[in-house]
A and B are shown apart, each in its own frame.
Chain A
Amino acid sequence: MKHAVHCGSLESERYWREEDLAALPSVPDAKALAIVQAMDELLFVFCGSGDILLTRHGMDKAQYDYLQSLNYSFKTNMNPLTLGVEAPGTAQNALNAMNVFELLGRLNPGQEPDRLIPEGAWLEPFAVLPGTHEAVKRYKLQPALPDEQTVRKVNTKTYSAAMRDRLLLPNIAVVVHSAEELLQSGQALLEKGAFLIKDEYGVSGKGNQLVDTERILRRIAGYLESSRNQDKRIKFVLEPLLDRETDFSCQFHIDPEGRISILSVQQLVNHGFAFGESHSPEPALLERLDREDYWEIMHSIGRELYADGYFGDVCVDSMLLRDGSLAPLVEINARKSMSLIKHNVDRQLKQEGMHTCLLQVPLATMGEVHYAELLGRLEREGILFSLGAGEGVIPLASGTLQPPDPSRSAGSTKGKLYAALAYRDEDSKHRLTRKLDESLLRSGYTILR
């Protein structure tokens, strides 16, 4: 049986974004990028027996051993993937700017991936990125992946907006191509309320700007005309801010022959526009989706994506609004997703009568902390999930808690714990999260909420 190589950069949109696109105001945050780059460890959830997981920084041995105890039997690199560049400055910046496939493509021969990757294995990327097809060639992997340009196109906000028209769904989006158009359309939208400016490759937490006053609108338009954006192509989607009641997403897969399989729906609890927690949907939500032909809409999106040349994993963001209406297509993400990660945790570990959720805990650390100590503490507290226990906390990545600090500055390091929780009822969920918080604090982490 052919094994699969699982690998990816979860900040896919960063690598799809064309350099000639004008950008909304942002502040560079290298520490936040370091956390996302360490999230590739979460891809272990997709590993079958004997599969290979390649991660940018290498997995902590304690985490690897823990996952093996949960019957995940994959091979992985224990050392960081590096080009052997030790000099600080531009070389390190260039390394940080590369996605994991670009990095793999430039590794010197004889490094860990050469020993781990069997010839003829399938590549299972989080998303198809620049450098993915080159990595397939270099490591002689099976090339069953869509074209990179197709993947870029179907992940844009304008593609999602146009898809609503193709499927005759209500479409509230306006596409603008200049600062002047932004001002005109923005002023018309503001008369009815706040709206969002969406970057072509914006993701939750970045690239979506809320505009609720004319001054902010003028400020953004001015920024797009500033020297920062000189000669850049302006392309944004404007959408009235939806009065959402429930965020959820649907995960489905399109195989290379165009067959579509609906995999799951996950309900999301977002903090503002950023991911907070995902959990299995309430039965009432699923009944509502049955009544509203939601599944047929998802199949239609899948068929259109396939007709445009895409196959692979898809996550469609949807919403229930406070006025009772359903917005089935908020955004198409033609890649794997956090919700698909949650679904795969369920497939492997969920037991009858148990609920599961996936959460993140933003952290800061002042000195060096040891991941193994946290795992040990969770075990001593009786909340570390084990196959016999049925409920507990499953830490999903070791490297995100204290990722390498790109600035190498003294002081605090920012990190995040990604974990799945298996619990019987709301009381046991609260007990687990409280004990998890206590364990993090006692292990030297500060919780940022």
Chain B
Amino acid sequence: MQQKVIEIIAEIKEEPGLRQTLSGASDLTLDAALDSLQIINFILRIEDEFDVEVDFDTFDLEHLKSVDRFSAYVAELAVR
């Protein structure tokens, strides 16, 4: 899942180079520099890819502290 999340970030940012520079430890708002609009588009793409639904109203930006953390959050949504 980690690699797919990174691919989607690179796609949203329109920066293919991010596929190489980002890792599981990368912060999505600092290292990937996703802004607020990009975060929404990123979440919508993730929902589409992993067939999950994020609750925007309770979504905590802490989930974006690392690719690994976000991947774990999505994996948890998927088994609900």
Contact = CB atoms under 8 A, between A and B. Distances in A.
Nearest to A33: B36
Interface string B7-49: 0000000100000000000000110010111111101100110
A272 B30 contact: no
B40 A446 contact: no
Contacts of A219: 44, 47, 53
B57 A228 contact: yes
Contacts of B47: 219
Contact of B36 (A26, A210, A364): A26
A273 interface: yes
B79 interface: no
The size bracket of the interface on B is 20 to 34
B35 A274 contact: yes
A26 B40 contact: yes
Nearest to B48: A215
A146 B43 CA distance: 41
B37 A272 contact: yes
Given A27-B36, A32-B36, A215-B48, A448 B30 contact: yes
B40 A273 contact: no
A100 B61 CA distance: 27
A448 B38 CA distance: 14
B36 A206 contact: yes
A29 interface: yes
A449 interface: yes
A412 B30 contact: yes
A27 B38 CA distance: 11
B77 to A, nearest CB: 14
Contacts of B57: 228
A449 B48 contact: no
A414 B44 CA distance: 24
Nearest to A411: B65
Contacts of B38: 272
B36 A29 contact: yes
A414 B28 CA distance: 13
Nearest to B60: A27
Contacts of A449: 33
Contacts of A412: 30
A362 interface: yes
Given A25-B56, A215-B48, A364 B30 contact: yes
A90 to B, nearest CB: 19
B61 A448 contact: no
A414 B29 contact: yes
B61 to A, nearest CB: 6
A446 B48 contact: no
A45 to B, nearest CB: 25
A209 B30 contact: no
Given A27-B56, A213-B48, A446 B37 contact: no
A206 B38 CA distance: 9
Interface in A173-213: 205-206, 208-210, 213
A216 B36 contact: no
Nearest to A30: B61
**Which among A26, A273, A362 has the greatest number of chain B C-beta atoms within 10 A?**
A26
A32 B43 CA distance: 18
A209 B56 CA distance: 14
A24 B41 CA distance: 12
A294 interface: no
A446 B30 contact: yes
Contact of A205 (B36, B44, B61): B36
A139 interface: no
A95 B57 CA distance: 22
B48 A274 contact: no
A303 to B, nearest CB: 34
B65 to A, nearest CB: 9
Contact of B37 (A208, A362, A364, A414): A208
Interface of B: 14, 29-30, 33, 35-41, 43-44, 47-48, 53, 56-57, 59, 61
22 contacts: A25-B40, A25-B43, A26-B56, A27-B36, A27-B39, A32-B35, A32-B36, A215-B48, A216-B44, A216-B48, A219-B47, A223-B56, A228-B56, A272-B14, A272-B37, A274-B35, A274-B37, A364-B30, A412-B30, A414-B29, A446-B30, A449-B33
Given A25-B43, A205-B37, A448-B33, 14 more contacts: A24-B40, A25-B44, A25-B56, A27-B43, A32-B35, A205-B36, A208-B37, A210-B41, A215-B48, A228-B56, A272-B37, A414-B29, A414-B30, A449-B33
